[in-house]
Amino acid sequence: MQQPPGFISNNSQLVCKLNKAIYGLKQAPRSWYTKLSITLQSLGFNSTTSDPSLFVRFTHSSSLFVLIYVDDIIITRSVPTDIISLISTLSSVFALKDLGPLHHFLGIDVSTLQDGSLHLSQRHYVQSLLQRTQMLESHPQPTPMITNLKLPQNVSATFFDPSLFRSTVGALQYVLITRPELTFSVNKVSQFMHSPQEHHWKAVKRILRYLNGTLDHGLLIKHNTNNTIQGFCDSDWASDIDDKKSTTGYCVYFGSNLVSWSSHKQRAVSRSSTEAEYRGIAAVLADIIWIQSLLTELHISCTMPKIYFDNLGAVLLSANPVMHSRSKHFEIDIHFVRDHVQRKHVSLIHPPARFQLADVFTKPISGPSFTSVRPKLMVLEKPIISLRGDVKQIT
Is 128 domain-assigned?
yes
Q: Show pLDDT as tens, one digit a residue, over the chain (395 residues).
A: 455 566 677 887 888 776 665 666 777 777 788 888 999 999 999 999 999 899 999 988 889 999 988 778 899 887 778 888 888 898 888 888 888 888 888 889 998 888 888 999 999 999 999 999 999 999 999 999 998 888 888 888 999 999 999 999 999 999 999 999 999 999 999 999 999 999 999 999 999 999 999 999 999 998 887 889 999 999 888 888 888 899 999 999 999 999 999 999 988 888 778 788 888 888 999 999 999 999 999 998 888 999 998 777 666 666 665 555 555 556 666 667 878 888 888 888 888 777 788 889 999 998 999 999 999 999 998 875 444 556 666 76
- What CATH number is associated with residue 284? 3.30.420.10
Is 114 domain-assigned?
no
Tell me which residue range forms the domain holding 38.
28-96
Claim to verify: residue 298 and residue 371 sit in the same structural domain: yes
Claim to verify: residue 207 and residue 229 sit in the same structural domain: no
Claim to verify: residue 208 and residue 274 sit in the same structural domain: no
Claim to verify: residue 73 and residue 162 sit in the same structural domain: no
Claim to verify: residue 260 and residue 145 sit in the same structural domain: no
Q: Where are the beta strands (DSSP E) in the chain?
A: 46-47, 54-58, 63-69, 72-77, 98-101, 104-105, 108-112, 118-121, 217-221, 229-236, 247-254, 257-265, 306-308, 347-349, 379-381, 391-394
How many domains does the chain contain in total? 3
Distance CA 100, CA 96 (A): 12
What's phi and psi for 156, nearest 5 deg? -150, 175
Closest-CA residue to 155 (of 205, 199, 194, 100): 199
Determine the pLDDT at residue 133: 93
Claim to verify: residue 251 and residue 355 sit in the same structural domain: yes
Claim to verify: residue 194 and residue 227 sit in the same structural domain: no
Is 17 domain-assigned?
no
Claim to verify: residue 182 and residue 314 sit in the same structural domain: no
Is 164 domain-assigned?
yes
Is 394 domain-assigned?
no
Distance CA 27, CA 45 (A): 24
Radius of gyration, CA atoms only, the chain: 24
Q: Name the region of 315 (left: φ>0; alpha: ψ -120 to 50; beta: rest).
A: alpha
Claim to verify: residue 131 and residue 236 sit in the same structural domain: no
Determine the pLDDT at residue 319: 61
Is 327 domain-assigned?
yes
Claim to verify: residue 191 and residue 168 sit in the same structural domain: yes
Claim to verify: residue 227 and residue 371 sit in the same structural domain: yes
Is 238 domain-assigned?
yes
Residue where one domain finishes, among candidates 96, 111, 144: 96
Claim to verify: residue 327 and residue 184 sit in the same structural domain: no
Is 42 domain-assigned?
yes
Determine the pLDDT at residue 190: 94
